[in-house]
Amino acid sequence: MTGDRNTTDATTTAPGGATGAPGGHVDVEAATAATGPGPALIRTAAALRALDRRGERAVVMTMGALHAGHAALIRAARDRVGPDGQVVVTVFVNPLQFGAGEDLDRYPRTLDADLLVAAQERADVVFAPSAEEVYPGGEPQVRISAGPMGERLEGASRPGHFDGMLTVVAKLLHLTAPDLALYGEKDAQQLALIRRMARDLNFPVRIAGVPTVREPDGLALSSRNRYLSGPERVTALALSRALAAGREAGTAAAAGTEPAAGKPAPAGDRAPSATPGAPVPVPAPEPSTVPVADPDAVRSAARAVLDEAAERQPPLVTDYLALVGPSDFTEVPADHRGEAVLAVAARVGTTRLIDNIRLQFGATR
């Protein structure tokens, strides 16, 4: 379920950095007057069931502390169901997703700001149940198992996380009864597992992915980004640089040319904290129809950027770099054709970040 650990303040990023507050954060009081009446706030499953339903219903599941990435999901939901449909945003901090060393009590609860973001993106309902409402008998004795895919990559780093995520997603799908559920592609493994669960267990819902929202310098948007110091942020840009380098190497292999040397981003795309001469990436694009080739070259080019960043101060500590199939998250072979996900996770200081892009090996049919 979409959410970021270690967020502590009560502000939220507005789409496009609106409202004029410093750093692109929402000034809640100023913006409330501009948005007018907001979505209905519902706390119980009974009240949600009693709600009049019109058109198609889309749900966006969050753990609150909404930022521009969440806003993009809500906006996409409204676009999908149209003005006559219904958009439900869930705000629930799921205790089952917090493992050892992840402090549930410190996770931010910013419901007033979340309601503002939901209003700005024309959501109809915010469903914000308590833990007792979602788990009336305490922690559930029967849970969803993520299976082998849930033990790879993110699952290996955070054991049990995906079991807790799928369990609450299943619960919320039952409680909200949507026709459509939307999730961010930044959490690619999560999205793949939700799609697999819906298919394997015959959930009557369509699952849709929404492209990753990026900051101007290419860093994937996350509420964790605010914890990066200036030097740490420069190091963290290696994630998107690595993905871009892998994509460029694959494109060059498909065209039979050499990849170009790393090019700096246009001046307008530089991170405010970047030091002069520091490498700043062109933001990694959404999947294109341009085919790539040679998975080994893709991995090698991406790995070279991460290795270079490991020598920086502060250093990048890579958790994993993987080129995997989008349906099972196993590594693709050297002769792979079709879609693949180039995924990376790394830590800078105390902040752990993830990112990915999708690549098409061989021409699309």
Residues tagged active-site: 70
Residues 217/265, Cβ–Cβ less than 8 Å: yes
Element (H, E) at 348: strand 338-348
User: Within a 13 Å sphere around the CA of 203, how many CA atoms are in the beta-carbon half?
Assistant: 24
- Secondary structure class of 275 (helix, strand, coil): coil
* CA–CA distance, 239 with 294 (Å, rounded to integer): 20
Residue 183 near residue 61, CB atoms below 8 Å: yes
Q: Are strands 86-91 and 125-127 parallel, antiparallel or unpaired?
A: parallel
DSSP state of 28: H
Q: Which two tokens stand for residue 322?
A: 């993987």
Please give the Cα distance from 332 to 343 (Å, whole number): 12
279 CB-near residues (< 8 Å, 6+ apart): 237, 241, 262, 264
- The rounded Cα 294 to chain-centroid distance in angstroms is 27
What's at 99, amino acid-wise? G
3 state DSSP class of 209: strand
Q: Which residues pair with 355 in a beta bridge?
A: 344
Residues in the chain: 365
Burial class (CB in 10 A: 0-12, 13-18, 19+), 128: buried
CA distances from 363 to 48, 191, 244, 256 (A): 46, 24, 20, 15
3-state SS, residue 295: helix
